Amino acid sequence: MAFSASYDEMSDSDRASFTPMLPTQVAFYFGMVIFGALGVLVITSEHATGMIRTALTAVPRRAHYLAAKTVVLGLVVLVVGIAVSFASFYVSQLILATKDLDGSIGDTGILRAVIGGGLYLALIAVLALGIGTLLRHTAGSIVVVFVVMFVLGIVGGFLPGSWGETVNKFLPSNAGTAILSPVRESEQLAPWTGLGLFAVYTLAVLAAALALFERRDA
């Protein structure tokens, strides 16, 4: 199997840091792409088709309209995200069992990581909704979401010195992904602290989106 070959090629230090959640964390990158794009499309598709004007005629209070979209999107992705998170974990354990590396949902930090992964995906979708509301352009919004969720984390890893390590912890994607680690790593925030910080980023984007949404023409 491809995974088995990859594990055989790992260094001793990489093997020592390996956890049963690692394959699930890799799968989450695909989930981040899918749900990030979904969050953008929930709002930008209406701008592209002109349906936003019809929707705002039916629901003239824009705060209520955006809040309803946010709640529905968040709840749907939360349910689907948790289901995907559990499915990814159990499927990956079947593969890991071939190398006697599988773990249990009852192991330290595993249940928190799996459930927290679903919460993280829901927040990503809501963040993407906020970005889509701000920009109103599908391609541009998706690019911004990918920059925030992927590029910033990579760039942060190249920041020099201790201040760079500190800043890197607080970047959105690095803060959010802390919830996916069963055991806190030295370069990460505490799991719930990181997810809480990502939630703050999400709320800030939503607040800015609502402020602009209420001031400009549809």
Which residue stretches of the chain have pLDDT < 50?
1-5
pLDDT for position 16: 52
* pLDDT tens digits along 79-96: 999 999 998 888 888 878
pLDDT for position 6: 55
pTM, entire model: 0.87
pLDDT for position 218: 63
DSSP H stretches of helix in the chain: 2-8, 12-16, 22-49, 51-58, 62-96, 110-135, 138-146, 152-156, 161-170, 172-177, 191-213
**Phi, psi (degrees; rounded to nearest 5) at 11:** -75, 165
